[in-house]
Chain A
Amino acid sequence: MNNNYKTAKIIKIKKESPKVKTLVMDINIDAKPGQYIMLWIPRVNEKPFGVVYDKPFTLSIAKVGPFTKKVHELKVGDKVRFRGPYGNSFSKREGECLLVGGGYGVVPLYFFASSFPKSKRKNIILVLGAKTKEDLILVNDFKKMGVKVQASTDDGSLGFKGFSTDLAQKVLKTGKFKSIYTAGPDIMMQKIAKIALDNKIFCEVSAGTFFKCGGIGLCGECALNGYLVCKEGTIFNAKTYLGK
């Protein structure tokens, strides 16, 4: 049963930003880019997190509420329980590829970019937006991987001053992009999905929402345009995501 809980021990913790910590575990899992796991802390809650990397199993988690606060209190050597991975994954297209990430939502795009052979990563441009430069995460990791990164910050503290969606539109004009993949806040992804449809570019969105049964697909809490995000997603093409 894929729904059985498994144990992972934290072997490394890296602070990515004031809000985000990356936890590297002592195990490998078999996951595909775009998939997520359900992380369980008994008597607290259980929440979905996109897999940053599967070998070793790695998660990047932003502190946004009581559950993630508990996660941030975990130390090297602590064990966590999780089930999964769940969900579908991104589908690759040949040619130039634009990734648009928003804040800590960029996580699934990191795993996706890393799944391209090294020689193809030069065709990938990441537009990464955040409120301020401290909130931009994984920038060096993307660069090390061979992906070109263009940052935007709302306050102009790094890169383009303004929204990632505006920067993405500028970047789109500089090349012949065959595909766009986006992960981050809904308002950003909706805009990107519309831009992709207008420009007739293949586009996939990593939909994030509230999960209850998380991957089992029986509770229906995560319904989006008639689809279960936890089971039939979280990756949807732009049209389905926008409900068109």
Chain B
Amino acid sequence: MKKTSIDLSVKIKSLKLQNPTILASGILGLDSKVLQKIASSGAGAITMKSLTLEPRKGHNNPIIVEVTSGFLNAVGYGNKGIEKGVEEFKKYEGNTPLIGSIVAKDAEEFALLADKIQEVPIKALELALSCPHTPGFGLLAGQGTPEATSKITGAVRKKTKLPLIIKISPSVPGIGEISKAAEAEGADAINMGNAHGPGMKIDLETGQPVLDFKVGGVSGPAIKTIMIRSVFDIYKAVKIPIIATGGITYGEDAIEAFMAGATAVGIGTGIYYRGYDIFKKVSVEVEEWLKKHGHKEISNIRGIAHE
């Protein structure tokens, strides 16, 4: 890449990203070697798949199905559990910042996991309060409210000085209030957000929902417009940075998210469409766009949709 004067770096408190692209949690993030591969393909940061207190098998297959302009998934938090997860992610050796991710049943359990996850050299911690398809977690545990957000954020804030990111759902009312609750309890960023939904796809031949859990979260280009509007709403509600996740596939999607008010973008499903190096591709496209439009850094366009 030619050296230019465009600065793609962004900061969320002490979390410094070379470029604004982040591997979203839940995608490929079970194995430290795979994470290293994504890091070396140009991601600004990478997020591990969320860890739970106990190992979880997750839902039976199918856990994912392709739909128009995206995917529907109900993985059900299949993971090794915090102890084995910590061992695995300790092996991560990249220079690209690793963001820890945890999910739990309640504030106490979140606090417990927050303690343990810091054995891994993570550079930020994300709490997902927003899974639409796993009983006992996220939306299905009532975590998608300002009250629950406040309690959980507060409990974890006491446990860590790391930048704290709260990942919320685009599918609940009052995302502004939820974001404010997180901010008031000391969150450093809002990730908007999780997969949308839940949605359902029925197989016409068998008359059965394809996903074994029947319903799942919608991801990919199909949810981009909702994500952009959600980021726009949250930007009005809080001062802390926003990570825009949901349908980011091309540089122009990221530009749109920055205009709505985002500081960085999360990428997950996009890997299916553009490969591991989507992070590099999106960064280059963002850089080219900024250059073409006479901007030297992302902050020049952040939130301009509000002006």
Bound pair: A and B?
Answer: yes
Give the complex CA separation of A228 and B31 in angstroms: 10
Give the complex CA separation of A211 and B58 in angstroms: 12
Question: Is B33 located at the chain interface by the 8 A CB criterion?
Answer: yes
Q: Which residues of A contact B272 (CB under 8 A)?
A: 216-218
Give the complex CA separation of A106 and B111 in angstroms: 49
Chain A residues 15-54 with CB under 8 Å of chain B are 38, 40, 42-47
Q: Which residues of B contact A220 (CB under 8 A)?
A: 27-31, 34, 49
Task: Decide if B30 touches A223 in the complex (CB within 8 Å).
Answer: yes
Q: Which residues of B contact A218 (CB under 8 A)?
A: 27-28, 64, 71, 73, 268-269, 271-272
| Residue total for B at the interface (Cβ-Cβ under 8 A) | 32
Task: Decide if A45 touches B61 in the complex (CB within 8 Å).
Answer: yes
Give the complex CA separation of A228 and B38 in angstroms: 12
Question: Is B60 located at the chain interface by the 8 A CB criterion?
Answer: yes
Task: Decide if B36 touches A217 in the complex (CB within 8 Å).
Answer: no
Give the complex CA separation of A1 and B220 in angstroms: 15
Q: How far is the CB of A229 from chain B (nearest CB, A)?
A: 11
Task: Decide if A226 touches B37 in the complex (CB within 8 Å).
Answer: yes
Chain B residues engaging chain A, CB cutoff 8 angstroms? 27-31, 33-34, 36-37, 49, 58, 60-66, 71, 73, 75, 78, 203, 205-206, 208, 210, 212, 268-269, 271-272
Task: Decide if A3 touches B65 in the complex (CB within 8 Å).
Answer: yes
Question: Is A5 located at the chain interface by the 8 A CB criterion?
Answer: yes
Give the complex CA separation of A79 and B65 in angstroms: 20
Q: Which residues of B contact A42 (CB under 8 A)?
A: 203, 206, 208, 210
A to B CB contacts below 8 Å, 9 in the list: A3-B66, A213-B64, A213-B73, A217-B271, A218-B73, A218-B269, A219-B28, A220-B27, A223-B31
SS class, residues of chain A in contact with chain B? loop
Q: How far is the CB of A40 from chain B (nearest CB, A)?
A: 6
Q: Which residues of A contact B268 (CB under 8 A)?
A: 218
Q: Which residues of B contact A79 (CB under 8 A)?
A: 205
Give the complex CA separation of A81 and B205 in angstroms: 9
Chain A residues 218-244 with CB under 8 Å of chain B are 218-221, 223, 225-228
Instruction: Find A226's partner among B33, B71, B210 (CB 8 Å cutoff).
Output: B33
SS class, residues of chain B in contact with chain A? loop
Further contacts, 13 of them, CB under 8 A, given A223-B30, A226-B34: A4-B66, A45-B61, A47-B61, A213-B63, A217-B28, A218-B268, A219-B27, A219-B28, A220-B28, A221-B30, A223-B34, A226-B33, A228-B34
Question: Is A169 located at the chain interface by the 8 A CB criterion?
Answer: no
Q: Which residues of A contact B62 (CB under 8 A)?
A: 38, 40, 46, 214
Question: Is A212 located at the chain interface by the 8 A CB criterion?
Answer: yes
Chain A residues engaging chain B, CB cutoff 8 angstroms? 1, 3-5, 7, 38, 40, 42-47, 79, 81, 211-214, 216-221, 223, 225-228
Q: How far is the CB of A4 from chain B (nearest CB, A)?
A: 7
Q: Which residues of B contact A4 (CB under 8 A)?
A: 66
Using CB atoms, name the residue of chain A closest to B207: A42
Q: Which residues of A contact B64 (CB under 8 A)?
A: 212-213, 216, 218-219
Given known pairs A212-B78, A220-B30, A220-B49, the reply for A226 and B36 (CB within 8 Å) is yes
Give the complex CA separation of A212 and B29 in angstroms: 14
Give the complex CA separation of A220 and B46 in angstroms: 14
Using CB atoms, name the residue of chain B closest to A48: B61
Give the complex CA separation of A5 and B58 in angstroms: 22
Give the complex CA separation of A79 and B29 in angstroms: 36
Using CB atoms, name the residue of chain A closest to B29: A220
Closest 5 A-B residue pairs measured CB to CB? A226-B33, A46-B61, A223-B31, A220-B28, A42-B208
Q: Which residues of A contact B73 (CB under 8 A)?
A: 213, 218
Q: How far is the CB of B175 from chain A (nearest CB, A)?
A: 25
Using CB atoms, name the residue of chain B closest to A226: B33
Q: Which residues of B contact A216 (CB under 8 A)?
A: 64, 66, 71, 272
Q: How far is the CB of A240 from chain B (nearest CB, A)?
A: 12
Given known pairs A3-B66, A216-B71, the reply for A81 and B203 (CB within 8 Å) is yes
Given known pairs A42-B208, A218-B271, A221-B30, the reply for A212 and B61 (CB within 8 Å) is yes
